[in-house]
Structure 1
């Protein structure tokens, strides 16, 4: 008996444990395809995901021509409005057919809404870059010392210090 068969009887994939709960929660908000919620950053793109969250999908009486409601901050709403056609195409590609006909944008304060799940200020911030230590800066300067051009030597020293700080923090 193979190792794979032994594991299949003992372990379950994590998604199998929560898939039913995710589907139930997403369907209560109109999301027939929970992939839209779970993979929002991939579907919408990192820039849109940093400024907007899907909140609801409401369907018309016939079942076609749904409206996707997005939550964003007031300052980001005009930028998001300009991207609605492209976003609609990407969301419909997720559904596999033209399920979404309209995108409605709802504005909120930067700290999110009542459920506390949309923290746009922190989502839009870039992660902190590691700062090179004095020893790393000195090692980089020593390595770049043979370079004759002052500007190039300084640039190489900065680059070297940044590379050293990232390799130590990983």
Structure 2
């Protein structure tokens, strides 16, 4: 699937200055989890005055001082991703390039909500663990059975 959309994603990214799409798609791996939760890349601008580009990162207001302190490390890690010193400056912005309501974006992925196993899976796991005398062990085995059976039915 990625082979089909790779050209379109690269074309869209290059319009925003991201010649290396890995910067967008692997941001957390490049700068680290803590930094990625505080800031994310917006665009790469190439100015007329000298060499190197400017990377603009978005962060919320409370994290801006922390991100400002991390700018040298962010620049080093991003340049390592590019393979050469492509980024000469990193700029922090606290607003999104869209309207105010759209700019209130979440920085972290929402955790998946746990789903209840089907009733037949619960019944089967209780039946399999019914011979165990210890309540704690029996409940743990029931949960394990439910997780295993629900996973095998989904795949």
CA deviation after TM superposition for structure 1 residue 134, in Å:
2.0
Write the distance in 2 (CA, Å) between the matches of 1:144 and 1:86: 53
Number of aligned residues: 150
Answer yes or no: is 1:71 the counterpart of 2:61: no
Q: CA RMSD in A?
A: 3.5
Does 1:62 find its partner at 2:50?
yes
Residues 111-166 of structure 1: CA deviation (Å, up to 9, x unaligned): x6517588426x52112333212221121111122223211111111122122223
Unaligned segments of structure 1, at least 5 residues = 1-12
CA distance in 2, matches of 1:24, 1:58: 11
Distance (Å, rounded) in 2 between the aligned partners of 1:152 and 1:79? 46
Alignment of 1:135-154 (within 5 A): 135-154=120-139
TM-score (norm 2): 0.68
Structure 2 residue corresponding to 1:26, chosen from 7, 16, 28: 16
1:9-158 aligned at under 5 Å gives the runs 14=4, 17-18=7-8, 21-22=11-12, 24-27=14-17, 31-44=18-31, 49=36, 52-59=39-46, 61-64=49-52, 66-75=53-62, 77=64, 80=67, 84-108=71-95, 114=98, 116=102, 119-120=105-106, 123-158=108-143
Which structure 2 segments of 5+ residues have no match? none
Alpha-carbon distance in 1 for matches of 2:35, 2:23: 13
| TM-score for the superposition, normalised by structure 1 | 0.63
Q: Counterpart in 2 of 1:162? A: 147
Partner of residue 10, structure 1: none
